[in-house]
Amino acid sequence: MADRKPIESWLTDMDGVLIHEGVPIPGADAFIKKLRESGRPFLVLTNNSIYTPRDLHARLRRLGLEVPIENIWTSALATAKFLDDQRPGGSAYVIGEAGLTTALHDIGYILTDHDPDYVVLGETRTYSFEAMTKAVRLINAGARFICTNPDETGPSTEGPLPATGAVAALITKATGRQPYFAGKPNPLMMRTGLNTIGAHSESSAMIGDRMDTDVLAGIEAGMKTFLVLTGLTRPEQVENFPYRPSKVVDSIADIIDLV
């Protein structure tokens, strides 16, 4: 990596990097503070599509992490950007929460269950069997199938929860149609995020706690990658993957001096 350009902009995952089970990870506040003081472009990313950037801004602020709304990038925003590029002013049947519906409203999409262009599946606290049945029937009738992210489980204080990827598998089984995932590890999420802050991949870095989403997305987007060990990936698991991060560190605290 010696011939890479110096890091001018930073992208970092949220859960497992900055916070863990609702508690800030030591060093996260100092890292965000230094980023803001440096004036370098940065984004905090999440594959979770439940919350709007405004919601996440308030949540992080309560934890002592001051991240401006414009520096938060979610899989819902990446999905909306993708749909706006593909079919401006289209329509969608949505299974999801405010983070997703707001993002689609903001690009001028009509949310409907009558002959929609797309069925869009995101994260939600209550997956309805009725809604999933309607999604299956609309996809069978010709709607295109889009998902915010492929995560099969999500974290909670009680243990793993079924997430978008698991529900997408159910719909795929019922329809025979594979969805297009807009979120990580799709490098589309990284590239659209970089575009929003005017950054370039060759001078950017991605920090994450998962090899199969964060690191993979960073590599495929052409970025330098840092794996932190405060989330899901253990040191011995790194060698199980056919690709490697640029660097493995214990936590976000080890990256502060690189900003």
* Res. 1 pLDDT band, cuts 50 70 90: very low
Catalytic amino acids?
13, 15
Structure tokens that stand for 192 in this block: 């659209």
User: Is residue 72 within 8 Å of 53, Cβ to Cβ?
Assistant: yes
For the chain, list the strands marked E by DSSP.
9-13, 19-20, 23-24, 42-46, 72-74, 91-95, 110-111, 118-121, 144-147, 153-154, 161-162, 180-181, 204-208, 224-228, 247-249
Q: How far apart are CA 259 and CA 257, in angstroms?
A: 6
User: Is residue 223 within 8 Å of 11, Cβ to Cβ?
Assistant: yes
Cβ-based neighbours of 114, under 8 Å, separated by 6 or more: none
Cβ-based neighbours of 85, under 8 Å, separated by 6 or more: none
The candidate with the shortest Cα–Cα distance to 13, out of 167, 184, 240, 248, is 184
Q: How far apart are CA 111 and CA 120, in angstroms?
A: 10
User: Is residue 147 within 8 Å of 164, Cβ to Cβ?
Assistant: yes
Average pLDDT over residues 59-78: 97
| pLDDT for 2 beyond 60 | no
User: Is residue 190 within 8 Å of 210, Cβ to Cβ?
Assistant: no
| pLDDT for 160 beyond 80 | no
Backbone region of residue 13 per phi and psi (left: phi > 0; alpha: psi in -120 to 50; beta: other values): beta
User: How do residues 169-197 score in pLDDT, each as one tens digit?
Assistant: 999 999 999 999 999 999 999 999 999 99
Output the pLDDT for position 122: 97
User: How do residues 92-136 score in pLDDT, each as one tens digit?
Assistant: 999 999 999 999 999 999 999 999 999 999 999 888 999 999 999
| Percentage above 90 pLDDT, the chain | 90
| pLDDT for 146 beyond 60 | yes
Q: How far apart are CA 90 and CA 97, in angstroms?
A: 19
DSSP state of 15: B
* Res. 4 pLDDT band, cuts 50 70 90: confident
| Residue 161 β-bridge partners | 154
| pLDDT for 198 beyond 50 | yes
